[in-house]
Amino acid sequence: MKQGKTNAMRILDKEKIAYTMLTYATDDGKIDGIAVAQKIGREENVVYKTLISQGTSKSYYVFVIPVEAELDLKKAAKAVGEKKIEMIPVKEITKVSGYIRGGCSPVGMKKLFPTVIDQRAQSLETIIVSGGNIGVQIEMAVEGLLQATKGSLADVSAS
C-alpha cells in the first residue's frame, strides 16, 4: 500500500531529522502497540505509544512510553510539575492533538505540548512511534524524537 507523508514526517523533514517509515496492515483491526510491534517485526521494547493527559492546571501533556508499559500517573504528574494528571477521554484525542486514536504521533500535534519520553528510551539506538496515521510508524534516533518534540526524559512508566 502506498502511504503519503504525514504531518509528523513533514515536520521531521523540515527539521532535517532522519527517520524511516514503517507500514503495517490494519485490515484485521489489531492496532494496539503489541500487535504493531509484531506486524513490523520489531521488539516491543523499541515501540512506544503516545498518551495525552491533562493536569489540574488544565494544561495538556504528552507521554511517550513503551507499548507494553502503563503510565504511572503519580510519576508523570511529578515529571511535569503537576499535583495530579489524568488521561484525556478518547473522544478528545482528535480535538486536542489533531490525530486519531491509534494514529497519534508525538510529532506534529496541533500544538507543541510538553512531552516526556520514558527514560527507558535512553538505552535504545532508535525508537519507533506512530507516524501520524493508523498503519504507519516512524523509526528514528531517540535524540531526534527529543529534538522534534522539545521533549525530556523521565521515569514515567509503572514498573
Residue 121's domain is classified under what CATH number? 3.90.960.10
Residue 78 lies in a domain: yes
Residue 2 lies in a domain: no
pLDDT (average), residues 53-72: 97
Which residue did the predictor score with more confidence, 1 or 125? 125
Residue 120 lies in a domain: yes
How far, in Å, are 80, 99, 108, 153 from residue 132 at the CA level? 24, 6, 8, 21
Counting the structural domains of the chain, the total is 1
pLDDT in tens, 86-137: 999 999 999 999 999 999 999 999 999 999 999 999 999 999 999 999 999 9
Say if CB 137 and CB 102 are below 8 A apart.
no
> Please, what is the angle between helix 142-149 and helix 7-14, to 10°?
100
In the chain, % of residues over pLDDT 90: 92
Structural domain containing residue 34: 7-158
| Residue 21 CB coordination number (10 Å) | 15
Residue 91 lies in a domain: yes
* Predicted TM-score of the model (pTM): 0.94
Largest Cα–Cα separation, the chain: 45
Distance between CA 68 and CA 72 in Å, rounded?
13
pLDDT in tens, 46-59: 999 999 999 999 99
